[in-house]
Structure 1
Amino acid sequence: MATETTQPMDETQVTRESGTGLDENVAGALSYLLGFITGIIMYFVEPENEFVRFHAAQSIALSAVIVVISIVLSFIGTILTSLLFVGNGGSFALFSILSLLLGLVYLVFAVGSFALWIYMMVRAYQGKTPRIPIAAGLADRIA
C-alpha cells in the first residue's frame, strides 16, 4: 500500500514554479508521462525542486521495477512455451495450464501497472507525494 505525504499549503500560497517555468505539480506529473524517459529529463532539468526531483526519481525507479518484472514474466513464459512443445502428452496439459495462468498473471500485472501510472500522475498533479514501497526507497537514494 502506498503511503503519502502532502506539502503544506494554505489559502495564500500559490503553486510554486519549477525551473522549467511549469508549476511544480505539472512538472511532477509529467515525470511519469513516458516513464523513465520523462523521469530522467525532469530529474536533470530540475536540480533545485525537491518535489519534482522525487517524482522524477520515483518514476525512474518505478519504470525500472516494472521493466524487470515484465522481463522475468516473459522469460518464464518463454520457458513454459518451450517445455510445452518438447513435453509428452501428460505434461502438455500441465504446461498449457501453467502458460494460461502466467498469461492471466501478466494481464493483471499490465492492467495494475497502467492503473498505477495514471494514479501517480494524478496524485503528483494534485501536489501529493505517494510513496510506492520499493520505488520510493530507490527514489530516496537517487534524489
Structure 2
Amino acid sequence: MDEKNNEEEVTTEIIDSRNNEGGKKSTTGLEENIAAVICYLGAFITGIIFLFLEQSSKFVRFHAMQSTVLFLGLWIIQFILGFIPFFGWFLSGLIYLAGIILWVVLMVKSYQKEYYKLPVVGDLSEDFLAKLNPKDNV
C-alpha cells in the first residue's frame, strides 16, 4: 500500500513541476510555446494571423513575424524562379526542400521555448516588430 502512495506522490510531483514550467500563456489562451508552433504550422498565413491576434507575448509575436518574413520571402522567390526554365525550376526545388527543413526545425525550437533567431530573417523580424510596436523593444 505504501508503494502505491509513493507512486501517486511521484506522479503528482512530476505533473506539478510540468504545470509550473509551462506557465506563461499568450493572449490567445494557449501556452506561448504552443502558440509559437502554430505560427509556423501554416507558414506565413498563420504567422500573419498570430501577428493580429497576439497582443502581449513578445515570444509569440517574434515567431509569428519570423514565420511571415521567412515563408513569404521563400514563396516569392520560388514564384519568380518558376519562370526560369530548368535552372530556375531546380533552384526552386532546392528552396522548397530548405523550406521544409526550416519549417520542422523552427517548430521544434519554438516548442522547446527557444527564442531561435535565423541569421538574416530573425534580424528583419525584430526590426519589423519594433516598427509595428515602437513602445516594445523585442
CA shift, 1:107, in A, is: 2.0
1:132 aligns with 2:137: no
2:38 pairs with 1:30? yes
Please tell me the residue identity of whatever aligns with 2:55.
P
Unpaired runs of 5+ in structure 2? 1-17, 130-138
2:100 matched residue in structure 1: 114
In 2, Cα distance between the equivalents of 1:15 and 1:142? 28
- Work out which structure has the larger RCO, using CA pairs closer than 8 Å and 6 or more positions apart in sequence: 1
Residue 29 of structure 1 deviates from its aligned partner by: 0.6
Q: How does 1:1-143 map to 2 (within 5 A)?
A: 13-77=21-85, 99=86, 101-143=87-129
Report the structure, 1 or 2, having the larger strand content. 1
Cα deviation 1:7-30 (Å, max 9, x = unaligned): xxxx96433111111110000010
Identity over aligned pairs, percent: 34
Distance 2:32 2:40 in 1: 13
TM-score, with length taken from structure 1? 0.70
The two structures have a TM-score, normalised by structure 2, of 0.72
Q: What CA deviation, in whole Å up to 9, does each residue of 1:82-140 have, x standing for no partner?
A: xxxxxxxxxxxxxxxxx2x4433322221111111111111111101221122212211
CA distance in structure 1 between the partners assigned to 2:82 and 2:93 by the alignment: 12
Provide the C-alpha distance between the structure 2 equivalents of 1:133 and 1:76, rounded to a whole number of angstroms: 28
Q: Matched residues in 2 for 1:75 and 1:30: separation?
A: 32
Structure 1 vs Structure 2 CA RMSD = 1.9
Letter in 1 for 2:41: L
CA distance in 2, matches of 1:130, 1:38: 18
